[in-house]
Amino acid sequence: MGNCIICGKPVDGLVCESHQEDVVFEFHGNSASQLSSDRYYRGTVDGYADFGVFIDIGDHVTGLLHRSELDQRLESLDWEPGDDVYVQVLDVRDNGNVDLGWSIRQREREFRGQLVDTGTEEKHPEELDSDTDSNSTAGEESDASPAEPSADDELPDAEAGDLQSAPEESAPADGGPNASDTVAGGSGSVATESAAASTPAADETADVEPTLNRTTIDAIDSQVGSVVRLEGEITGVRQTSGPTVFELRDETATVECAAFEEAGVRAYPAVEIDDAVALEGEVERHHGDLQVETESLEILDGETRETVVDRLESAIESEARPDDVAPLADHDAIAAVEDGIVDAATAIRRAVMEARPVVVRHGATADGYVAGAAIERAVLPLIREKHTREDAEYHYFERRPLDGRVYDMDAATNDVTSMLEARDRHGEQLPLVVLVDAGSTVESVDGYDLLSLYDAESIVIDDSHADEEIVDAVSVAVAPSLADADVSDVTSTALSATVAAHVNDDVRADLEHLPAVSYWEDVPEAYLELATDAGYDETELTNRREAVALEAYYQSYKDKRELVTDLLFADGDASPARNDELAAHVSEQFRAKLGTELETATENATVRGVDDVTVTLLDTDAFTHRYDFPTTVLLLDELHRQERDRADEPFVTLGVGSDELHVRATDSLNVRDLGAAIEEQAPDAGVSVVGGADGHVEFLPGERDAVREAALDALPETLA
């Protein structure tokens, strides 16, 4: 009989049935049949296959960790052959094959105990070491057995330390009472007793260990294996099934620090987000990521805390704000919002430095996707620079396309729900929400107000006719219309790419062709020149614009990060020629689908003259495929461009569906004014305008005919 090393309960062996999963075993057997199912074992990565990973359990047995057992994609594993890993034995088949399961615990210290499985019995690691030492010295001993040293014998310190395990070695081999007293007595661990025995008394300690000098996170890459002292601010806390993981930020970067109290138990429960702390621990690499194994963690207060806080704030202030303004090209609309561009870039850089997630919301259009991709292109390298986790860019940056150009309560509720869940479950800070190509009209104020109730910061970057109410609703508004600038020749991508260039000047060259991609016609000459200098001709720009527009429609709620990157940039394994081929292939589908729909729309559109205005009228419910590409908005844009060339100005394209009215005009037209005129003539239609002066009119389906006729009557008066 023995005692369970976890609870002390008498058992056959060293761990009871209820604590099998709390212990990790090192296998020293020579046959798969000697493994015990449901136990966790330390293994070594042997190699990869399409269906999983082969893991060596000990020196003589190999098992398969099938891809279906992983909690992530097989391709995302960063295990290398020879790496130590921890797995669970699920089943040992009759043919000797071993099925393995994933373990969320990937450090020995995350288990509550460690034992050796010899294949026939369980042993403490110390017992195995003692057996090895005895075997290795047996041949050196004389025939006469030396006498046991007595307590009164005086031995040099080194020799005395070497003999600390002597009582254990002399224990009865049958695991009787004397053996169990030695192995499991007191704290229940030979390692604990040995450590205590070898610790010098206080009066024997000559010197107290000096306090470590502070180092910075950006310098610990060269200090793997060393104990370091860090000072900074806690930016995240998450509890795993093993250690508590604290995210620590100093003035240079952010690193994860693991602290272990007990499996699944919160370490340092008094430490919370925003606390200034001093932390000491050993620098390690965990699956390729730098991590600090916390040995001590102290909350700072008073002057010490102020020193750390001031150091962090000073570093952020000096690094976050761009030195000067350098637009991608001369553009009056851009020049009108230079201060806003700098403020937006500063806010985004600060979020990265403060380890706050950046969430970009953009319209599901070509302009929206390209504008969002510009911000993404600038932010991701900064995240990789400031965070030691290799997958940090997927945790601290996200693009979430919007259905429309209004940041309504549905979108805001989604964002608030996500951010509160991330805060409560994973200890994340509240994000910076950046609205691009959307969110600049009064209809979005309620959404911003919901964010502000939780102190979540927001920014809007939009080429629309913005409303003044937005200025007080968001932290920064980059909207040329608010500065009374002409917005007829600017896109959200032109604005966002300029902001992105100030977020990260290192990617400026990657961004220069993006504004030209976002214009469906009349590309400003300055942006065409930038694209040409970057190696893109007009055909390549058109192909990318059309390809992004098509992909924006499908799975519109997803960011499609890798696909959009391949369409817009020449990265990694994808050569420029390969990207050109991809863009050309997708754009060909765009033209085929749009051409078919446009032909149907043209045949079924009617032309009416209202005073001096020519109107092309299309019933978008009857003569479009409402749930297939292209969208109604994209179709009407193209129909308007096609028809206006055959009509005298002023010319209007009017699309009327079951409950929506969209209008395109050669002359300036304020949709809010049109909506007010329609409401006056059709007071029972429940008319509302969504998206401001550039938006559309919504109404009750039963009043469709009245709304259509009211719109036709009002057009001459509302055209500027």
Spatial contact of 228 and 283, defined as CB atoms under 8 Å apart: yes
Tell me the pLDDT band of 3, cut-offs 50, 70 and 90: confident
How confident is residue 188, by pLDDT bands cut at 50, 70 and 90? very low
Domain 217-317, second-level architecture:
Beta Barrel (2.40)
| pLDDT tens track for 236-287 | 898 887 889 999 999 899 999 999 988 788 999 999 999 999 999 999 987 7
464's CB contacts (< 8 A; 6+ apart) are 405, 440, 441, 479, 481, 487, 691, 692, 693, 694
More confident residue, 177 or 462: 462
**What would the pLDDT profile of 674-700 be if each residue is shown by its tens digit?**
999 999 999 999 999 999 999 999 999
- Check residue 644 and give its pLDDT: 82
C-alpha distance from residue 605 to each of 348, 621, 655 (Å): 46, 12, 9
Say if residues 429 and 383 touch (Cβ distance below 8 Å): no
Q: Residue 203 above 50 pLDDT? A: no
Indicate the pTM of the whole model: 0.67
Rounded to the nearest integer, the mean pLDDT of the chain is: 85
Burial class, 152, CB count within 10 angstroms (exposed 0-12 / middle 13-18 / buried 19+): exposed
Domain 2-123 shares a fold with domain 605-718: no
CB atoms within 10 A of CB 58: 23
How many other CB atoms are found less than 10 A from the CB of residue 364? 24
Kind of pairing between the strands at 98-102 and 113-117:
unpaired
Domain boundaries, the chain: 2-123, 217-317, 322-585, 605-718
* Predicted pLDDT of residue 282: 93
Poorest-confidence range of 199-208, 571-580, 636-645? 199-208
More confident residue, 555 or 136: 555
Residue with tokens 């007293």, as numbered in its chain: 181
What φ, ψ does residue 254 adopt, rounded to 5°?
Answer: -130, 140
The mean pLDDT value for 211-224 works out to 88
Please report the pLDDT score of residue 71 as a whole number: 75
Exposure pattern of 261-281 as b/e (b: 16+ CB <10 Å)? Answer: eebeeebbeebebebbbbbbb
pLDDT of the residue at 398: 94
Residue 131 pLDDT class (50, 70, 90 cuts): low
Query: Is the distance from CB of 634 to CB of 549 less than 8 angstroms?
Result: yes
* Alpha carbon of residue 26 to chain centroid: 35
| Residue 129 pLDDT | 63
Burial class from Cβ neighbours inside 10 Å (0-12, 13-18, 19+) for residue 344 reads buried
pLDDT at position 77: 83
Q: Which long-range contacts (CB under 8 A, 24 or more apart) does 215-222 make?
A: 216/250, 216/251, 216/252, 216/253, 217/248, 217/249, 217/250, 217/252, 217/253, 217/254, 217/255, 217/388, 218/252, 218/253, 219/252, 220/255, 220/283, 220/290, 220/292, 221/290
Measured over the CA atoms of residue 322, residue 327, residue 328 and residue 333, the dihedral's sign is: positive
Distance between CA 87 and CA 210 in Å, rounded?
40
Pick the CATH number of 2-123 from 3.40.50.720, 2.40.50.140, 3.40.50.300, 3.40.50.2300: 2.40.50.140
Q: Residue 211: its pLDDT value, please?
A: 64
Side by side, the strands of the sheet bearing 476-478 are: 397-402, 358-363, 432-436, 457-461, 476-478
Q: Looking at the domain covering 605-718, what would its CATH class be?
A: alpha beta
pLDDT tens-place string over residues 595-610: 999 999 999 999 998 8
∠ CA 495-497-501 to the nearest 5 degrees?
A: 120
Q: What is the pLDDT of residues 278-311, one digit of tens each?
A: 999 999 987 778 999 999 999 999 999 999 999 9
| Structure tokens, 441 | 């009209």
Percent of the chain with pLDDT over 90: 60
Give residue 571's pLDDT.
67
Task: Give the model's confidence band at 374: pLDDT under 50 very low, under 70 low, under 90 confident, else very high.
Answer: very high
Confidence at 1, pLDDT banded by 50, 70, 90: low
Residues 618-665 have pLDDT tens digits of 999 999 887 789 999 999 999 999 888 776 778 999 999 999 999 999
Give the architecture (CATH level 2) of 322-585. Answer: Alpha-Beta Complex (3.90)
Q: Are 410 and 360 in contact (CB under 8 A)?
A: no
pLDDT tops 60 at residue 541: yes
